[in-house]
Structure 1
Protein backbone atom coordinates (compact mmCIF):
# COMPACT_ATOMS: atom_id res chain seq x y z
CA UNK A 1 0.00 0.00 0.00
CA UNK A 2 2.88 2.35 0.72
CA UNK A 3 4.31 1.87 -2.77
CA UNK A 4 0.97 2.79 -4.36
CA UNK A 5 0.74 5.92 -2.22
CA UNK A 6 4.32 6.93 -3.10
CA UNK A 7 3.68 6.22 -6.78
CA UNK A 8 0.58 8.43 -6.64
CA UNK A 9 2.50 11.23 -4.96
CA UNK A 10 5.33 10.95 -7.48
CA UNK A 11 2.88 10.92 -10.38
CA UNK A 12 1.18 14.01 -8.97
CA UNK A 13 4.54 15.75 -8.51
CA UNK A 14 5.56 14.83 -12.05
CA UNK A 15 2.25 16.19 -13.41
CA UNK A 16 2.79 19.38 -11.40
CA UNK A 17 6.27 19.88 -12.83
CA UNK A 18 5.15 19.18 -16.38
CA UNK A 19 2.40 21.81 -16.34
CA UNK A 20 3.22 24.87 -18.41
CA UNK A 21 2.82 27.29 -15.51
CA UNK A 22 5.75 25.84 -13.57
CA UNK A 23 8.03 25.89 -16.59
CA UNK A 24 6.97 29.46 -17.44
CA UNK A 25 7.64 30.52 -13.86
CA UNK A 26 11.11 28.93 -13.88
CA UNK A 27 11.97 30.70 -17.15
CA UNK A 28 10.68 34.01 -15.75
CA UNK A 29 12.84 33.66 -12.63
CA UNK A 30 15.98 32.91 -14.64
CA UNK A 31 15.37 35.76 -17.08
CA UNK A 32 14.49 38.08 -14.21
CA UNK A 33 17.76 37.29 -12.46
CA UNK A 34 19.72 37.99 -15.65
CA UNK A 35 17.68 41.14 -16.28
CA UNK A 36 18.54 42.45 -12.81
CA UNK A 37 22.17 42.72 -13.89
CA UNK A 38 21.18 44.87 -16.87
CA UNK A 39 19.06 47.18 -14.74
CA UNK A 40 21.80 47.49 -12.12
CA UNK A 41 24.29 48.40 -14.84
CA UNK A 42 21.92 51.05 -16.27
CA UNK A 43 21.36 52.58 -12.84
CA UNK A 44 25.07 52.61 -11.96
CA UNK A 45 26.28 53.60 -15.43
CA UNK A 46 23.67 56.16 -16.50
CA UNK A 47 21.24 57.22 -13.78
CA UNK A 48 23.72 57.57 -10.91
CA UNK A 49 26.14 59.76 -12.92
CA UNK A 50 23.24 62.01 -14.00
CA UNK A 51 22.14 62.34 -10.38
CA UNK A 52 25.82 62.71 -9.45
CA UNK A 53 26.06 65.77 -11.69
CA UNK A 54 23.64 67.44 -9.27
CA UNK A 55 24.96 65.96 -6.04
CA UNK A 56 26.64 62.65 -5.41
CA UNK A 57 26.88 59.54 -7.56
CA UNK A 58 25.88 57.32 -4.66
CA UNK A 59 22.18 57.80 -3.93
CA UNK A 60 22.60 55.94 -0.64
CA UNK A 61 24.41 58.97 0.80
CA UNK A 62 21.27 61.15 0.62
CA UNK A 63 19.67 61.29 4.05
CA UNK A 64 17.88 63.57 6.46
CA UNK A 65 18.40 63.85 10.18
CA UNK A 66 15.15 63.90 12.12
CA UNK A 67 16.59 64.09 15.61
CA UNK A 68 19.74 66.20 15.91
CA UNK A 69 22.61 65.72 16.21
CA UNK A 70 23.10 62.88 13.72
CA UNK A 71 26.54 61.47 14.19
CA UNK A 72 27.91 58.58 12.18
CA UNK A 73 30.44 56.11 13.47
CA UNK A 74 33.49 55.18 11.41
CA UNK A 75 31.72 52.08 10.06
CA UNK A 76 28.77 54.17 8.77
CA UNK A 77 26.26 53.32 11.48
CA UNK A 78 24.36 56.06 13.28
CA UNK A 79 25.85 56.88 16.71
CA UNK A 80 23.22 59.40 17.74
CA UNK A 81 20.09 60.97 16.30
CA UNK A 82 17.51 59.54 13.89
CA UNK A 83 18.61 59.44 10.29
CA UNK A 84 16.22 58.77 7.37
CA UNK A 85 18.05 57.25 4.40
CA UNK A 86 15.74 58.49 1.63
CA UNK A 87 18.47 58.17 -1.00
CA UNK A 88 18.25 54.37 -0.77
CA UNK A 89 14.50 54.54 -1.34
CA UNK A 90 15.02 56.87 -4.30
CA UNK A 91 17.59 54.50 -5.81
CA UNK A 92 15.29 51.49 -5.38
CA UNK A 93 12.36 53.44 -6.85
CA UNK A 94 14.39 54.50 -9.88
CA UNK A 95 15.55 50.94 -10.34
CA UNK A 96 11.94 49.73 -10.23
CA UNK A 97 10.72 52.37 -12.70
CA UNK A 98 13.56 51.61 -15.09
CA UNK A 99 12.86 47.88 -14.84
CA UNK A 100 9.16 48.39 -15.46
CA UNK A 101 9.82 50.72 -18.42
CA UNK A 102 12.31 48.37 -20.04
CA UNK A 103 10.05 45.35 -19.55
CA UNK A 104 7.06 47.24 -20.97
CA UNK A 105 8.75 48.88 -23.95
CA UNK A 106 11.09 46.05 -24.90
CA UNK A 107 8.95 43.03 -24.07
CA UNK A 108 5.24 43.67 -23.40
CA UNK A 109 4.53 46.28 -26.09
CA UNK A 110 6.28 44.45 -28.95
CA UNK A 111 4.61 41.17 -27.94
CA UNK A 112 1.19 42.83 -27.85
CA UNK A 113 1.76 44.31 -31.32
CA UNK A 114 2.95 40.94 -32.63
CA UNK A 115 -0.09 39.12 -31.21
CA UNK A 116 -2.40 41.78 -32.70
CA UNK A 117 -0.83 41.25 -36.13
CA UNK A 118 -1.15 37.48 -35.82
CA UNK A 119 -4.82 37.85 -34.83
CA UNK A 120 -5.46 40.23 -37.76
CA UNK A 121 -3.89 37.75 -40.18
CA UNK A 122 -5.97 34.92 -38.74
CA UNK A 123 -9.17 36.96 -39.14
CA UNK A 124 -8.22 37.92 -42.69
CA UNK A 125 -7.66 34.26 -43.58
CA UNK A 126 -10.95 33.10 -42.06
CA UNK A 127 -12.97 36.07 -43.23
CA UNK A 128 -14.67 38.55 -41.00
CA UNK A 129 -17.04 37.05 -38.44
CA UNK A 130 -18.95 40.33 -38.33
CA UNK A 131 -20.18 39.78 -41.89
CA UNK A 132 -21.36 36.29 -41.02
CA UNK A 133 -23.19 37.54 -37.93
CA UNK A 134 -24.90 40.30 -39.92
CA UNK A 135 -25.98 37.89 -42.64
CA UNK A 136 -27.24 35.42 -40.02
CA UNK A 137 -29.19 38.23 -38.42
CA UNK A 138 -30.71 39.16 -41.75
CA UNK A 139 -31.70 35.53 -42.38
CA UNK A 140 -33.34 35.31 -38.97
CA UNK A 141 -35.27 38.53 -39.63
CA UNK A 142 -36.49 37.11 -42.95
CA UNK A 143 -37.60 33.89 -41.25
CA UNK A 144 -39.44 35.90 -38.61
CA UNK A 145 -41.17 38.01 -41.25
CA UNK A 146 -42.22 34.88 -43.17
CA UNK A 147 -43.63 33.27 -40.03
CA UNK A 148 -45.58 36.42 -39.20
CA UNK A 149 -46.89 36.60 -42.75
CA UNK A 150 -47.93 32.93 -42.71
CA UNK A 151 -49.59 33.31 -39.33
CA UNK A 152 -51.49 36.35 -40.58
CA UNK A 153 -52.64 34.53 -43.76
CA UNK A 154 -53.78 31.51 -41.78
CA UNK A 155 -55.88 33.67 -39.44
CA UNK A 156 -57.50 35.45 -42.38
CA UNK A 157 -58.48 32.12 -43.91
CA UNK A 158 -59.82 30.86 -40.57
CA UNK A 159 -61.94 34.00 -40.07
CA UNK A 160 -63.27 33.72 -43.64
CA UNK A 161 -64.18 30.07 -43.12
CA UNK A 162 -65.92 30.78 -39.82
CA UNK A 163 -67.82 33.65 -41.35
CA UNK A 164 -69.08 31.56 -44.27
CA UNK A 165 -69.80 28.57 -42.13
CA UNK A 166 -67.44 26.29 -43.99
CA UNK A 167 -64.90 24.21 -42.14
CA UNK A 168 -64.17 23.98 -38.46
CA UNK A 169 -61.58 25.80 -36.42
CA UNK A 170 -59.54 22.60 -36.31
CA UNK A 171 -59.83 22.03 -40.03
CA UNK A 172 -59.29 25.09 -42.17
Structure 2
Protein backbone atom coordinates (compact mmCIF):
# COMPACT_ATOMS: atom_id res chain seq x y z
CA UNK A 1 0.00 0.00 0.00
CA UNK A 2 2.80 2.44 0.87
CA UNK A 3 4.67 1.50 -2.31
CA UNK A 4 1.66 2.51 -4.41
CA UNK A 5 1.34 5.79 -2.51
CA UNK A 6 5.05 6.50 -3.04
CA UNK A 7 4.70 5.87 -6.79
CA UNK A 8 1.65 8.14 -6.89
CA UNK A 9 3.39 11.00 -5.08
CA UNK A 10 6.60 10.73 -7.07
CA UNK A 11 4.78 10.63 -10.39
CA UNK A 12 5.84 13.67 -12.42
CA UNK A 13 2.41 15.08 -13.16
CA UNK A 14 1.43 15.15 -9.46
CA UNK A 15 4.49 17.25 -8.64
CA UNK A 16 3.82 19.50 -11.66
CA UNK A 17 0.23 19.97 -10.53
CA UNK A 18 1.32 20.86 -7.00
CA UNK A 19 3.78 23.43 -8.34
CA UNK A 20 1.10 24.87 -10.62
CA UNK A 21 -1.32 25.26 -7.71
CA UNK A 22 1.27 27.02 -5.56
CA UNK A 23 2.34 29.34 -8.38
CA UNK A 24 -1.30 29.97 -9.29
CA UNK A 25 -2.11 30.92 -5.71
CA UNK A 26 0.84 33.30 -5.61
CA UNK A 27 -0.08 34.81 -8.98
CA UNK A 28 -3.68 35.31 -7.81
CA UNK A 29 -2.50 38.07 -5.50
CA UNK A 30 -0.84 39.91 -8.38
CA UNK A 31 -3.86 39.60 -10.66
CA UNK A 32 -6.28 40.65 -7.92
CA UNK A 33 -4.13 43.68 -7.11
CA UNK A 34 -4.13 44.77 -10.75
CA UNK A 35 -7.88 44.27 -11.08
CA UNK A 36 -8.94 45.86 -7.77
CA UNK A 37 -6.38 48.67 -7.66
CA UNK A 38 -6.15 49.67 -11.32
CA UNK A 39 -8.97 48.34 -13.46
CA UNK A 40 -11.95 48.55 -11.08
CA UNK A 41 -11.32 52.25 -10.26
CA UNK A 42 -11.11 52.97 -14.00
CA UNK A 43 -14.47 51.26 -14.58
CA UNK A 44 -15.93 53.08 -11.58
CA UNK A 45 -14.74 56.39 -13.04
CA UNK A 46 -16.33 55.56 -16.41
CA UNK A 47 -19.73 54.69 -14.92
CA UNK A 48 -19.63 57.11 -11.95
CA UNK A 49 -20.27 54.21 -9.59
CA UNK A 50 -18.49 53.26 -6.38
CA UNK A 51 -19.66 49.65 -6.46
CA UNK A 52 -21.94 47.55 -8.61
CA UNK A 53 -22.60 45.08 -5.78
CA UNK A 54 -25.73 46.91 -4.55
CA UNK A 55 -26.79 48.22 -7.95
CA UNK A 56 -29.88 47.13 -9.85
CA UNK A 57 -31.89 45.74 -6.93
CA UNK A 58 -35.10 43.85 -7.68
CA UNK A 59 -37.47 43.41 -4.73
CA UNK A 60 -39.66 40.30 -4.73
CA UNK A 61 -42.49 40.23 -2.19
CA UNK A 62 -43.12 37.06 -0.20
CA UNK A 63 -45.94 34.78 -1.27
CA UNK A 64 -48.19 35.52 1.70
CA UNK A 65 -47.22 39.21 1.83
CA UNK A 66 -46.42 39.18 5.57
CA UNK A 67 -42.64 38.48 5.56
CA UNK A 68 -39.66 40.56 4.58
CA UNK A 69 -39.37 40.75 0.78
CA UNK A 70 -36.38 39.19 -0.97
CA UNK A 71 -34.00 41.48 -2.81
CA UNK A 72 -32.04 40.34 -5.82
CA UNK A 73 -28.92 42.34 -6.65
CA UNK A 74 -28.22 41.88 -10.35
CA UNK A 75 -25.44 44.44 -10.08
CA UNK A 76 -23.42 41.93 -8.05
CA UNK A 77 -23.71 39.39 -10.86
CA UNK A 78 -22.68 41.99 -13.43
CA UNK A 79 -19.74 42.99 -11.19
CA UNK A 80 -18.67 39.33 -10.90
CA UNK A 81 -18.81 38.90 -14.69
CA UNK A 82 -16.75 42.07 -15.18
CA UNK A 83 -14.28 40.91 -12.54
CA UNK A 84 -13.92 37.53 -14.29
CA UNK A 85 -13.38 39.16 -17.67
CA UNK A 86 -10.78 41.52 -16.23
CA UNK A 87 -8.90 38.65 -14.58
CA UNK A 88 -9.02 36.69 -17.85
CA UNK A 89 -7.66 39.70 -19.75
CA UNK A 90 -4.82 40.22 -17.27
CA UNK A 91 -3.89 36.51 -17.32
CA UNK A 92 -4.03 36.42 -21.12
CA UNK A 93 -1.82 39.45 -21.67
CA UNK A 94 0.53 38.80 -18.72
CA UNK A 95 1.05 35.05 -19.27
CA UNK A 96 -0.35 33.62 -22.48
CA UNK A 97 0.89 36.24 -24.94
CA UNK A 98 4.51 36.33 -23.65
CA UNK A 99 4.74 32.53 -23.42
CA UNK A 100 3.34 32.10 -26.95
CA UNK A 101 5.85 34.68 -28.19
CA UNK A 102 8.74 32.84 -26.54
CA UNK A 103 7.55 29.48 -27.91
CA UNK A 104 7.30 30.98 -31.40
CA UNK A 105 10.86 32.37 -31.19
CA UNK A 106 12.21 29.06 -29.92
CA UNK A 107 10.46 27.22 -32.76
CA UNK A 108 11.85 29.66 -35.34
CA UNK A 109 15.38 29.22 -33.95
CA UNK A 110 14.97 25.44 -34.03
CA UNK A 111 13.78 25.57 -37.63
CA UNK A 112 16.77 27.76 -38.54
CA UNK A 113 19.13 25.23 -36.98
CA UNK A 114 20.06 27.38 -33.99
CA UNK A 115 19.62 25.66 -30.64
CA UNK A 116 16.78 27.21 -28.63
CA UNK A 117 18.92 27.39 -25.51
CA UNK A 118 22.60 27.97 -25.93
CA UNK A 119 23.97 26.75 -22.64
CA UNK A 120 27.37 25.33 -21.87
CA UNK A 121 26.86 21.64 -21.39
CA UNK A 122 29.25 20.02 -18.97
CA UNK A 123 31.73 17.59 -20.52
CA UNK A 124 30.96 13.91 -20.31
CA UNK A 125 32.99 11.55 -18.17
CA UNK A 126 34.65 10.10 -21.25
CA UNK A 127 35.70 13.58 -22.44
CA UNK A 128 37.17 14.37 -19.01
CA UNK A 129 39.11 11.12 -18.89
CA UNK A 130 40.44 11.72 -22.41
CA UNK A 131 41.60 15.22 -21.39
CA UNK A 132 43.31 13.84 -18.28
CA UNK A 133 45.06 11.17 -20.37
CA UNK A 134 46.25 13.76 -22.87
CA UNK A 135 47.51 16.06 -20.10
CA UNK A 136 49.39 13.20 -18.47
CA UNK A 137 50.88 12.20 -21.81
CA UNK A 138 52.04 15.76 -22.46
CA UNK A 139 53.63 16.16 -19.02
CA UNK A 140 55.64 12.93 -19.15
CA UNK A 141 59.41 13.16 -19.58
CA UNK A 142 60.66 13.55 -23.16
CA UNK A 143 61.66 10.26 -24.67
CA UNK A 144 59.77 8.19 -22.09
CA UNK A 145 57.22 5.71 -23.36
CA UNK A 146 53.58 6.31 -22.62
CA UNK A 147 52.24 4.32 -19.73
CA UNK A 148 55.65 3.64 -18.11
CA UNK A 149 57.01 5.60 -15.19
CA UNK A 150 60.56 6.88 -15.24
CA UNK A 151 62.65 6.96 -12.12
> What TM-score, normalized to structure 2?
0.59
Q: After the TM superposition, which residues 14-25 of structure 1 pair with which residues of structure 2 at under 5 Å, given as runs?
A: 14-25=6-17
Show structure 1 runs of 5+ residues with no match.
Answer: 1-8, 70-78, 127-172
Q: Which residue of 1 aligns with 2:108?
A: 120
Matched, 1:81 2:69: yes
Which structure: larger Rg? Answer: 1
> What TM-score, normalized to structure 1?
0.53
Q: Which residue of 2 aligns with 1:33?
A: 25
Helix, strand or coil: the match of 1:59?
Answer: coil
How many residues are treated as equivalent by the alignment? 109
1:32 Cα offset (Å): 1.9
1:40 Cα offset (Å): 2.5
1:68 Cα offset (Å): 5.4
Helix, strand or coil: the match of 2:69?
Answer: strand
| Larger mean Cα displacement after TM superposition, 86-95 or 43-52 | 43-52
Show structure 2 runs of 5+ residues with no match.
Answer: 115-151
Larger % of helix: which?
1
Q: Which residue of 1 aligns with 2:140?
A: none
Larger % of strand: which?
1
Helix, strand or coil: the match of 2:49?
Answer: coil
Higher RCO structure (Cα 8 Å, ≥6 apart): 2
Q: Is the 8 A contact 1:48 1:58 kept in 2?
A: no
